[in-house]
Structures are given as C-alpha cells and as structure tokens.
Amino acid sequence: MNTRSSHTIAEPEVLPPPTSTPAIDPGIREELLAQADERGQVTVHCRFSTPWGTRLRVWPGTYLICRTTGHRSALLHAEGISWYPAWMPVPAGTISFTLVFAPLPDGCTVFDLIEEIPEPGGFMVSGMVRNGSDLYDVEV
C-alpha cells in the first residue's frame, strides 16, 4: 500500500541580495569606524537607585584606578547620564547608564572606579576584579 501525503511543504522564500548598500552619513560612518577600531576600552554599565528621586551627573574626573600600579584610565564617553556641570533629574526608581574608559594596563587584575570631585557624593566602586571582556555591571 502506497501512502503519500496529499499536502506539500512549502519551500522557504529566498530573497535576492540587496542591490546596493544603504547610504550612511559620512560623519556617522567615520565615527562608527573609529569606535570599531578602538581596542582595550573598558565599559562599565551602571545602575543607580533612588527611592525618592534626585539629580545626577558624572564629572570628567572619573577614573578606573589599577590597584597594583596606580594607573588611571580616563573616562572617554558617558551614555545615559549628563556631564558636569549639567544635572540630570532622576525620578524615584532605578536608572542605567554606561561609562567607557581608556584601557587598563595588561597586568591589572583589580581596580577601583572613582569619581574624584571637590564635593561629597562621587561614585565609588572598590575592588572590581578584572575579567577577560572588560565589560562590567555595577551598582553605584
């Protein structure tokens, strides 16, 4: 007895390759290429919680400091937080922002994140253990 299915399985639709590359603004293209070329940067994803709301900003005097050598890796870029002197209002709850730093020395295994400012309340996360990806998540 021959049992054949009366229904067929449709072949997936194969789309042709794009005929052209989408145009990218030259300034944005150069910025993307520069970012892709950066090696060794350290990225710290930060969370900040407040039960009643506050204001927040990051100072240029924010560093990753190697505990072995004292080397300071400067803050290069901040995303999701305003730079001193501007304040960013933060409602009650938790916000996230990202800080990108210059590379740490090759031999650095433990470092601190320190915002050196001339007033109380700077960020500080002590004893961060270096990992292979140089991507970190911290609560500040």
pTM over 0.85: no
**Does residue 8 surpass a pLDDT of 50?**
no
Q: Flag whether pLDDT at 114 surpasses 60.
A: yes
Q: Pick the range with the lowest mean pLDDT from 35-44, 51-60, 75-84.
A: 35-44
Cis peptide before 85 (omega within 30 of 0): yes
Does residue 133 or residue 8 have the better pLDDT?
133
**How far apart (Å, rounded) are the C-alpha atoms in residues 120 and 66?**
23
Closest to 44 in 3D by CA, of 123, 113, 117? 113
